[in-house]
């Protein structure tokens, strides 16, 4: 499994498995299939309410805990010092583990001082309950505020796909050694039908999904596609088997339409 080095020296698998909206037995089965297929990063969150099922699937897989990278997130209403510690304890318990590899602030919350939240996360890291600290849905301004606290942020998980390629944010993250993770990496299926993606898919004889995931990973971006279909889970995993040519990467770079799919009322993207 290809990994990407984080700024705290931990390695994150470049291809992970998304689990938003997977619940119950479907979640258990899908995570089991993903682990059997070879995925070694599972992305979850307290908000997904599926951490128990993920813990069960990991246990069933028979893999050692150290072989799997788990990302989880604390919900944006739980960002006070006390709530972060409590949420992380619950996450660890539900996942039946001792630690989370990467713990993210799910969404920024201007009502709770970022320094307080990050201080709690730093203490969790010092205690070994989390291995790396990150954020999600942070804009450049949010990241600047985080950097001012002096607490190291290793990852920013944001919506990123061909029709929403966040060039400025990517540049800022590169300049500050923050690795991006692309959520909704295939735009929940929408970008699979783009004409140029279809053409490149035909040229390489690879699925449209593999082309997009490969494009992301070629930019040192972690991709976490979600699927409950075993065929798609396996198909997406094959994305690591080939390389895209520079010209084709540039063609996909030109497909941006600022097509943002996830924009809840509490989002703060205009910051």
Write down the least CB distance from residue 230 to ligand NAP, Å.
9
Residues 157-196 that bind ligand NAP (CB under 6 A): 157, 183-189, 192
Contact call for residues 117 and 89 (beta carbons, < 8 A): no
Coil/strand/helix, residue 62: coil
Between the alpha carbon of residue 9 and those of residues 69, 72, 138, the distances in Å are 14, 19, 22
Contact 90, 45 (CB under 8 A): no
Residue 20 binds ligand NAP (CB under 6 A):
yes
DSSP state of 267: -
The least CB distance from residue 189 to ligand NAP, in Å, is 4
- Which of 52-60, 163-171, 218-226, 247-255 is the region at the interface with ligand NAP (rule: CB under 6 A)? 218-226
Choice among 48, 81, 103, 183 that is catalytic? 48
The verdict on 226 binding ligand NAP (CB under 6 A) reads yes
Residue with tokens 């944001």: 158
Phi, psi (deg, nearest 5) at residue 73: -140, 145
Minimum CB distance to ligand NAP, residue 111 (Å) = 18
Nearest to 47 by CA among 86, 25, 77, 92: 77
Closer to ligand NAP by CB, 127 or 159: give it. Answer: 159
- Minimum CB distance to ligand NAP smaller for 84 or for 127: 84
Q: Is position 231 annotated as part of the catalytic site?
A: no
Which residue number, 136 or 246, has a Cβ lying nearer to ligand NAP? 136
Please provide the DSSP assignment of 10-61 as one string: -EEESB-EE-TT--HHHHHHHHHHHHHHT--EEE--GGGT-HHHHHHHHHHH
Q: Which stretch binds ligand NAP (CB under 6 A): 82-90, 147-155, 228-236, 249-257?
A: 228-236
Which residues inside 197-216 make contact with ligand NAP, applying CB under 6 A?
A: 207, 209
Report the interface residues with ligand NAP, using CB under 6 A: 18-20, 43, 106, 136-137, 157, 183-189, 192, 207, 209, 224-229, 232, 235-236, 262
State the catalytic residues.
48
């Amino acid at each position: 499994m290809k990994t990407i080095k984080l700024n705290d020296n931990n390695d994150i698998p470049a291809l992970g498995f998304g689990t938003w909206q997977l619940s119950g037995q479907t979640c258990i089965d899908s995570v089991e299939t993903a682990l059997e297929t070879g995925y070694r990063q599972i992305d979850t969150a307290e908000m997904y309410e599926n951490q128990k099922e993920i813990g069960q699937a990991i246990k069933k897989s028979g893999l050692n805990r150290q072989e799997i990278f788990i990302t989880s997130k604390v919900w944006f209403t739980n960002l006070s010092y006390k709530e972060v510690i409590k949420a992380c304890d619950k996450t660890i318990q539900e996942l039946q583990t001792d630690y989370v590899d990467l713990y993210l602030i799910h969404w920024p919350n201007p009502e709770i001082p970022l320094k307080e939240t990050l201080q709690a996360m730093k203490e969790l890291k010092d205690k070994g309950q989390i291995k790396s600290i990150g954020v999600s849905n942070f804009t450049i301004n949010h990241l600047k505020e985080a950097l001012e606290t002096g607490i190291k942020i290793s990852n920013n998980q944001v919506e990123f796909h061909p029709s929403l390629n966040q060039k400025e944010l990517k540049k800022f993250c590169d300049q500050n050694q923050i690795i991006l993770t692309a959520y909704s990496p295939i735009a929940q299926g929408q970008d699979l039908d783009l004409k140029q993606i279809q053409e490149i898919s035909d040229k390489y004889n690879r699925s449209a999904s593999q082309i997009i995931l490969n494009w992301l990973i070629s930019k040192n971006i972690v991709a976490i596609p979600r699927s409950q279909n075993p065929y798609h889970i396996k198909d997406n995993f094959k994305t690591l088997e080939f390389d895209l040519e520079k010209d084709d990467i540039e063609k996909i770079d030109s497909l941006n339409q600022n097509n943002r799919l996830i924009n809840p009322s509490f989002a703060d993207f205009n910051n």
